[in-house]
Amino acid sequence: MNILDTIVAHKKIEVTDRKAQASVKQLEAKPAFALPVRSLSDSLLKPDSTGIIAEFKRKSPSKGFIKQDANVTQITSAYTRCGAACLSVLTDENFFGGSDADLIEARTNDIPVLRKDFIVDEYQISEAKSIGADVVLLIAACLTPAEVKHLAEFATSLGLQAILELHAEEELEHICDATKIVGINNRDLKTFNVDIERSLRMAEQLPADKIKIAESGIDKIEDILLFKQNGFKGFLIGEYFMKQPDTPAAFQSFVEQLKAAE
Ligand SMILES: O=C(O)c1ccccc1NCC(=O)[C@H](O)[C@H](O)COP(=O)(O)O
C-alpha cells in the first residue's frame, strides 16, 4: 500500500469515529459554522496579491518532523501580516501533526483559511465549516470524478470554495463546473518525487476559466515567476517556510524578494 492509500484508509476509520461523536446538526450548531466565508478566488485575483497560500505544517510523510513545536498563532499571524493571500492549515493529526485547534486559531486572521486534509466524505466539509474554514481541498487521487462533483457541489452549498488537486494527466477528467480552482501538485503523492515541468505541462491542458494553483516543492522566487508566466495565480508553500529556524522572518524576506523581482 502506498502512503496515500494508507492515509485514506486511516481517514475513513477516523471519519466513522467522528460521525459517531457529533452529528451534522451538532456541527451546524457550532458558532464558527455561521461565520462569513472569505473568498480564496477574490484574494488570489487581487491585482497586488502575492498569491502565496502559506502553509502551517509540523511534519509530513515525506520529511518527518519539520517543526514539531511550531506556534500556530505566531506563524499564521506573521504569514498574514507579511502578505499571504491565504493560510493553509493541516488538520490531520496522525500523519501531519495538525489539529482542528490549529485551524480555529488560524481563523482569527483576516485572510481565507484552507482546511488541508484528506476529504473522503461530505461530513468532513461540514466539519471544516464548523471550525471556521473558508476553503477545502479535494484530492483527485483519493476520489472518483463523481465524488469530486458531489463534494465540490456540497462545499459550494455551504458557501465554501473547493480546490481540486490534480497531479497526473489522467486526473483531468475530475474537473467539473463546481471546481473553479484547480491545484496542480508538483509532488507525486505516491512516490514523493517533485516535478515542476510536469505541472507546467498539465496546466496547459486546464480549461481557461479555472484559477490555477501550483502546489508543493516550491522554494525559490524563480519558481513562482515561472508559474506566474504560465498563468498560475496561487502558490501553496509549506515546507520551505516551516523548515527555516525563524519562519516569520523567512516568510517576510521571501515576500520582499518576490515583490522586488516582479
Ligand atoms: O508533504 C507530504 O509529504 C505529503 C505526503 C503525502 C500526501 C500529501 C503530502 N503533502 C500535502 C501537500 O500537498 C503539501 O503539504 C503542500 O502542497 C505544501 O507542499 P510543500 O511546500 O512541499 O510543503
CATH number of the domain encompassing residue 149:
3.20.20.70
Q: Tell which one of 6, 60, 138, 163 to mutate to probe ligand 1, the residue whose CB is within 8 A of the most ligand atoms.
A: 60
The 10 Å Cβ neighbour count of residue 1 is: 8
Distance 58 CA to ligand 1 centre (A): 11
- Are 7 and 61 within 8 A, CB to CB? yes
Please list the pLDDT of the chain residue by residue as tens digits (262 residues): 889 999 999 999 999 999 999 999 999 999 999 999 999 999 999 999 999 999 999 999 999 999 999 999 999 999 999 999 999 999 999 999 999 999 999 999 999 999 999 999 999 999 999 999 999 999 999 999 999 999 999 999 999 999 999 999 999 999 999 999 999 999 987 788 899 988 899 999 999 999 999 999 999 999 999 999 999 999 999 999 999 999 999 999 999 999 999 9
199 lines ligand 1 (CB under 6 A): no
Looking at residue 192, its pLDDT comes to 85
What pLDDT is stored for residue 145 in this prediction?
A: 98
217 CA closest ligand 1 atom index: 22
Amino acid at site 10: H
Pick the residue whose CA is nearest to atom 13 on ligand 1.
216
55 Cβ closer than 6 Å to some ligand 1 atom: yes
Q: How many distinct structural domains can be found in the chain?
A: 1
Task: Give the domain range for residue 66.
Answer: 3-261
Among all chains, which residue has been given the C-alpha cell 517543526? Answer: 67
Catalytically active residues, by annotation: 55, 57, 116, 165, 185, 215-216
Q: Is the CB of 61 under 6 A from ligand 1?
A: yes
Residue 1: predicted pLDDT: 80
C-alpha cell at 69: 513545536
Ligand 1 contact, 97 CB (< 6 A): no
Provide the pLDDT for residue 65: 97
